[in-house]
Amino acid sequence: MNKSAETSEKKGAVLPIKTSIQDSIKDLLKNGIDHCVFDAVMIPLRVPAGDSFSYVLIKNKSLLNDAFPLPPTMSVQGAKAVSSVTRLGNRNMKIAAVMRPCEIRATIELTKLDQTDLENIILISMDCPGTMPILDMVNEPEKTMTLFNDATKSWDDTQMRPVCQICDKSSMVAGDLHIGTLGTDKKSFFIIPNSTKGKDILEKLKLPLTDSIDSWNKKVKENSEKKLKKRQEVHSDLKNKIGDLTNLLDIFSQCINCHNCMRVCPICSCRLCYFDSNKVKHSSEEYLQRAKDKGSIRILPDTTLFHMGRMMHMSLSCVSCGSCEDACPMSIPVAQIFSMVADETQRLFDYVAGRCLEEPLPLRTYKEDELHEVEDVHG
Amino acid sequence: MANALKITKNTEESVREFLKILLEKRKVKGVFTLKKIGKNGAVTYSLITKSDELNDAVPFYPLMPTNAGKLLSRITRNGSTTEPVAVIVKPCELRAFIELVKREQGHFENLYIISSTCGGVYPLKTATDGTIEKNLSDYWDAVKKGEINQDLRPACTACTEFTPYGADITVDLIGNTELEKKCFLLLNTKKGEELVQDMKGELVDRDFDKEKLKKFYAKREKAKNQFFNENTKINGLDDLIKIFGRCIGCHGCSKVCPICYCTLCMFDSSNLEYKPSKYESEVRQRGGLKIPPGTIYYHLGRLTHVGISCVGCGSCEDVCPVNIPLTLIFKKVGESMQQIFEYIPGKNITEKIPLVTYNEEEYTEIEG
């Protein structure tokens, strides 16, 4: 696998769109089950009340009719779903997991952190126009479906979550197969393999790699360049806004310590977070002493420390999926802040979270000859 | 005998001043109350030791960033405070704390409890979009008149337990038409009386305006019945799937619940991590399986665990990222469990939790 946002693959298979792209993808998946390329599919289904989506592991092909390969909202980050099925191993069942690119990237990070077993998993991604806020679907399901449908055609991201509007990796190919809808004639779509596993599947399904994917690559590049520019602008604004301790304390002052952001974060996989452990539970004397030292402390104290600590722990693997912000009851722009810091920490190590399975986690590698500029600072 | 302190001044100001004097005269070494912090004036619970810091205190602000019962438990879990602390909390927060003390998750000694009749709190999102500040004058108008403010947390509009149990001092808010001019601190205990000694103000003989509170109770009770009747629609597994289908499994409801105090929730433990063979057989049998599984199991499990002590504070619903009507379900089921045992959670510290008491002669009808 390569390190660039574009895939090294120059050719892809082309499939016609019959009724809709979603239906054609479902046909492809059914075909996969028929040909025993995989035994089950993990894919979002609309919940019975119609107000959300949920990942469902499907063996019964007819259930696939109700699947939404690309739903408007992200209820559970797909990486968490893959981890819940495969954390203790996955011996006999070959599963095709259909997810957004950021969900696949998080899955790859979790694999590096030993929280998933990809042995029998086939990761299938597709070009992502963004994700709408989770509450839009709860409040106005049908309107949200329509708006999202329109957005997938026009590639207009104004209805999407703020962190999706600045996502320059919305077509990043990191899994085994990628479905490309950009740069096509709208009557067909690309299937692009990104691993031997992916190539094998296309071979078994008799889908030859006949067509050049230059047009897709070109469109993706154009798209991500545009988004990257916007991302940098937004991050630079944000940095001005929160770039010192007072502002930082202020932005997190509304935080109520529910830790929803941590609970939904695909990377936060610790069974017991340090910030929920006995380490942060103090005696009454300590609370009083701290209050006396400062005149007043908030209860619970160390709210900003929690966010900074979480940032230190996971920012090298942050895929900017936006789940944290979606789950924050106090509307704190957590995902935007974390994506800004993640970009910087990852750049320092020339690392992109979830880009490639073979790329080791920066904090688990040691090179004698690196980061001299940091040494100099402390010279 | 005099049983109240009358201060002829705005109620919130009087209480703020009262707290300052407590600190200055060293009657207490700390004050636990709501306070505005930072540039944007976020309201959070704070532990205050310097009287100047009380200038930003807003003891009766209609917001519950976290149920204070949970926070008091955090402070006193490993033992009572070594020095006296005055705490200003809402009635349901006090009830939650009492439930936690019964579970050995907190200590009462050395705390002076100040509470009030409570008009309810606004949803958390009103604090982030600024609407709460705009609503404040409406809120206090409704409190003075003894009316229900419709924009409150659903849990609050349907709350009939608006008078605190077991407070040393109760501040008379509901139906007090002269809130801006007069403050009444009702002294319920010896500790309360000790606290107001040397305070400016007049010791008077006064109790709640019982007639007004009765009327207010009737309004709340009517609202509660309406609220609960909506719930009759939830019946059976299909309806539970409809209600909980959108749950994203963040378990935020458990994290903020004052009664959920387990260090490791059963539903976060390895007990609920299934082996690959389990997934395989389930999928084979059913054709499809929600991932992660166990959503309804989690909510029903939590309901069983906390229902008997649920104080109906509404924190769970307020932090739910997908607006599941948790208050409705937990409050209604909780109260019906509590009725069976004639138990009001947090009413009386000496009353044992029903599930840890055994009476040989009870529930014979169930045996039958």
**Tokens 């080791």, residue?**
A360
For a pLDDT cut of 70, what percent of chain A falls above it? 97
State which residue of chain A sits closest to B40, comparing Cα positions: A250
Q: What is the pLDDT of residue A370?
A: 81
Residues B192 and B253 in one domain: no
**DSSP-based three-state secondary structure for B45:** strand
Q: For chain A, what is the mean pLDDT?
A: 93
Q: Which residues of B touch A135 (CB under 8 A)?
A: 321-323
Pairing of strands B111-116, B42-48: unpaired
Residues B180 and B263 in one domain: no
Q: What is the pLDDT of residue B368?
A: 63
Q: And the tokens for A41?
A: 């599919």
* Domain endpoint, select from B194, B228, B262: B228
Residues A101-120, buried b or exposed e (16+ Cβ, 10 A)? bbbbbbbbbbbbbebbbbeb
Residues B107 and B217 in one domain: yes
* Domain endpoint, select from B228, B252, B277: B228
Q: And the tokens for B181?
A: 């001019």
User: For residues A22 and A189, what is the distance between their CA atoms, to the nearest angstrom?
Assistant: 11
Of the pLDDT bands very low, low, confident and very high (cuts 50, 70, 90), residue A378 is low
B47 to A296: CB separation less than 8 angstroms, yes or no: yes
User: For residues A176 and A157, what is the distance between their CA atoms, to the nearest angstrom?
Assistant: 26
Please report how many Cα atoms fall inside a 13 Å half-sphere around the Cα of residue B241, on the Cβ side. 12
Contacting residues for A12 by C-beta, under 8 A, at least 6 apart: A180, A190, A191, A192, A193, A209, A211, A213, A216
Contacting residues for A9 by C-beta, under 8 A, at least 6 apart: A192, A193, A194, A209, A213
**DSSP-based three-state secondary structure for B59:** coil
Is A4 a residue whose pLDDT tops 60?
no
A48 to B238: CB separation less than 8 angstroms, yes or no: yes
Mean pLDDT of A88-98: 92
Residues B359 and B295 in one domain: yes
pLDDT digits (tens, 9 = 90+) for A168-218: 999 999 999 999 999 998 899 999 999 999 999 999 999 999 999 999 999
Residues B127 and B60 in one domain: yes
Give the number of domains in chain B. Answer: 2
Please report how many Cα atoms fall inside a 13 Å half-sphere around the Cα of residue B155, on the Cβ side. 26
Mean pLDDT of B134-144: 95
**DSSP-based three-state secondary structure for B83:** coil
Residues B341 and B238 in one domain: yes
Residues B122 and B240 in one domain: no
Residues B165 and B237 in one domain: no
Angle at which helix B295-306 crosses helix B326-340, to 10 degrees, equals 40
Q: What is the pLDDT of residue A208?
A: 94
Is A335 a residue whose pLDDT tops 90?
yes
Angle at which helix A334-348 crosses helix A303-314, to 10 degrees, equals 40
How close, in Å, is residue A202 to chain B by CA atoms? 25
Select from B322, B323, B324, B326 the residue whose CB has the most chain A CBs within 10 Å, as the one to mutate to test that interface. Answer: B322
Is B337 a residue whose pLDDT tops 50?
yes
DSSP per-residue letters across A133-164: -HHHHHH-HHHHHHHHHHHHHHT--TTS-HHH
State which residue of chain A sits closest to B29, comparing Cα positions: A288
For a pLDDT cut of 70, what percent of chain B falls above it? 99
Distances (CA, A) of A188 to A72, A142, A174, A194, B64: 22, 27, 22, 20, 54
Q: What is the pLDDT of residue A2?
A: 44
Residue B183 lies in domain: 4-228
Q: Which value, in Å, is the radius of gyration of the alpha carbons in chain B?
A: 22
Mean pLDDT of A43-58: 96
Q: What is the pLDDT of residue B2?
A: 64
Helix H or strand E encompassing B265: none
CB atoms closer than 10 angstroms to residue A243: 10
Burial of B26 (0-12, 13-18, 19+ CB in 10 A): exposed
Structural contact between residues B167 and B186, judged by C-beta atoms closer than 8 angstroms: no
Of the pLDDT bands very low, low, confident and very high (cuts 50, 70, 90), residue B235 is confident
Residues B343 and B195 in one domain: no
Q: And the tokens for A268?
A: 């936060």
Of the pLDDT bands very low, low, confident and very high (cuts 50, 70, 90), residue A5 is very low
Cis peptide before A361 (omega within 30 of 0): no
Helix H or strand E encompassing A251: helix A245-251
Q: What is the pLDDT of residue A1?
A: 42
Pairing of strands B169-171, A121-126: unpaired
**Tokens 């509404």, residue?**
B314
Residues B246 and B165 in one domain: no
Is A167 a residue whose pLDDT tops 80?
yes
DSSP conformational letter for B7: E
B252 to A259: CB separation less than 8 angstroms, yes or no: yes
ipTM: 0.92
Contacting residues for A168 by C-beta, under 8 A, at least 6 apart: A5, A224, A225, A227, A228, A231
Residues B74 and B169 in one domain: yes
Long-range CB contacts (< 8 A, 24+ apart) of A310-315?
Answer: A310/A261, A310/A262, A310/A265, A310/A268, A310/A275, A311/A338, A311/A341, A313/A268, A314/A265, A314/A267, A314/A268, A315/A341, A315/A342, A315/A345, A315/A346
Q: What is the pLDDT of residue B366?
A: 78
How close, in Å, is residue A262 to chain B by CA atoms? 9
pLDDT digits (tens, 9 = 90+) for B96-108: 999 999 999 999 9
State which residue of chain A sits closest to B294, comparing Cα positions: A84
Is B305 a residue whose pLDDT tops 80?
yes
Please report how many Cα atoms fall inside a 13 Å half-sphere around the Cα of residue A283, on the Cβ side. 9
- Which residue type occupies A295? G
Q: For chain B, what is the mean pLDDT?
A: 94
Structural contact between residues A304 and A148, judged by C-beta atoms closer than 8 angstroms: no
Q: What is the pLDDT of residue A377?
A: 60
* Domain endpoint, select from B170, B198, B228: B228
Question: Which residues lie across from A101 on neighbouring strands?
Answer: none
Mean pLDDT of B332-346: 95
DSSP conformational letter for B26: T
Mean pLDDT of B53-80: 97
Q: Which residues of B touch A259 (CB under 8 A)?
A: 252, 255
Residues B214 and B90 in one domain: yes
State which residue of chain A sits closest to B279, comparing Cα positions: A85
Q: What is the pLDDT of residue B232?
A: 67
